[in-house]
Amino acid sequence: MKKTLTLIFTALLCFFIISGCQKSDNTNGTVYNPPVSSTSFMFDTVTNITIYSAKTEDNPEEILKDVTKICNDLENKLSKTIEESDVNRINKSKGEAVEVSDETAELINLSKKYSELSKGAFDITIAPLSEVWNFQNENPTPPSDDEINTLLTSVGMDFINIDGNTVTKTNPDTEIDLGGIAKGYIADKTAEYLKSRNVTSALINFGGNVVTIGSKPDNTPFKIGVQKPFAETNEVCGAVSSKDGTIVTSGTYQRYFEYNGEKYHHILDPKTGKPSNSGLLSVTIEGTKSADADALSTACFVLGLDKGMELIESLDGIEGVFITEDYDIVTTKNSTFEKL
């Protein structure tokens, strides 16, 4: 039996529900009642952007159309499945130099940073392993140890060299997948653009990568629910507060399959090539940049509770919420998490 569960963050938002599209004013500028939102599909997940207020006379629907174009442009560069994307061209190369966009170069360099910080727990070169596990398949089965061990020989950030905008591979079989960091990066770029258009309150949700702009229209922080792992009704176990911040979760319940009575989840350990056996069900990261939180949520999950906590506590402006296999909830010192 296969279950694919998409992470759902419950935004515990208080806003006025008024029939028709009305506007009012407060210190945040024009407040839209109801809020204006757009939904699309990107990086194999549903995305949603909601604008609550802005200090502009621009039509919020036009702003959302413009930001959708920006997101699509970035996906066309960063997705490994889109033909002739930067990532697709890197993966098809056999050692020859590949020129990439500024955004792709920036994201590869950021990936290298978090690979080093996590001592390899975060690694974008696991793409071939993700493919052989094939969690997208209707009836997936675990690959053999021989298959995994063969693919592990091409895993490692040392196989990727980047000089400016030029990327080369020292192992022709190495492939990259930016899916573990690209959604956060695009969410960050979305927030930057919305702020440049004088949006003062908004919620961006890219498949669980949540970014908040400002606070709610009533000037209180957004409350973002953290899902209880494997709950059938999107039950939350608590919430974190966010104002001009980001919340990102990696969890076993987001995508997994069952085979011969055993669950296999999608968060792979780059060292073993198999689903991470770290004793955790989920890791939620609180921070200011969603790309950073994206990489850290995966890295900390693979590292496990003790090493994950140690990594987070070594970084400024980052907090974490860890849920263990026993459903114990452990948070860093300054986390805003509150049980519900």
| Per-residue pLDDT band at 2 (split at 50, 70, 90) | very low
pLDDT at site 26: 61
pLDDT at site 51: 98
| Range 53-63 average pLDDT | 96
CB 211 within 8 A of CB 191: yes
- The secondary structure of residue 206, as a DSSP letter, is E
Range of weakest confidence among 118-132, 199-213, 220-234, 302-316: 220-234
- The secondary structure of residue 134, as a DSSP letter, is T
Distance separating alpha carbons of residues 245 and 340, to the nearest angstrom:
21
Question: Alpha-carbon dihedral of residues 154, 158, 163, 168, nearest 10 degrees?
Answer: -20
The closest of 316, 332, 124, 298 to 208, measured between CA atoms, is: 298
DSSP string, 17-79: --SS-EEEEETTEEEEEEEEEEEEEETTEEEEEEEEEESSSS-HHHHHHHHHHHHHHHHHHH-
pLDDT at site 233: 76
Interaxial angle between packed helices 179-196 and 102-117, expressed in degrees from 0 to 180 and rounded to the nearest 10: 120
Residue in the block written with tokens 């695009």: 186
Percent of the chain residues past pLDDT 90, beyond the cut: 83
CB 257 within 8 A of CB 3: yes
Distance separating alpha carbons of residues 172 and 168, to the nearest angstrom:
9
pLDDT in tens, 151-164: 999 999 999 999 99
| Ordered structural domains, the chain, with CATH | 86-169 (1.10.3980.10)
Q: Which two tokens stand for residue 207?
A: 């498949």
Residue in the block written with tokens 């049980």: 339
| Per-residue pLDDT band at 137 (split at 50, 70, 90) | confident
Give yes or no for residue 99 having a pLDDT over 60: yes
Q: Which two tokens stand for residue 61?
A: 């629907």
Give every CB contact of residue 117 below 8 A, 6+ residues apart in sequence: 299, 311
pTM assigned to the model: 0.91
Residue 226 — φ and ψ, nearest 5°?
-105, 120
* 3-state SS, residue 196: helix
The closest of 202, 166, 182 to 290, measured between CA atoms, is: 182
Give yes or no for residue 11 having a pLDDT over 60: no
The closest of 197, 199, 226 to 212, measured between CA atoms, is: 199
Distance separating alpha carbons of residues 311 and 118, to the nearest angstrom:
7
- Say which residue, 28 or 269, is predicted with more confidence: 269
Residue in the block written with tokens 């939350």: 236
- Point out which residues pair with 37 in neighbouring strands: 50
pLDDT in tens, 209-262: 999 999 999 999 999 999 999 987 789 999 999 999 999 999 998 888 999 889
Distance separating alpha carbons of residues 328 and 178, to the nearest angstrom:
31
* 3-state SS, residue 132: helix
Give yes or no for residue 4 having a pLDDT over 60: no
- The secondary structure of residue 221, as a DSSP letter, is P
Residue in the block written with tokens 């039950």: 235
pLDDT at site 17: 24
pLDDT at site 180: 93
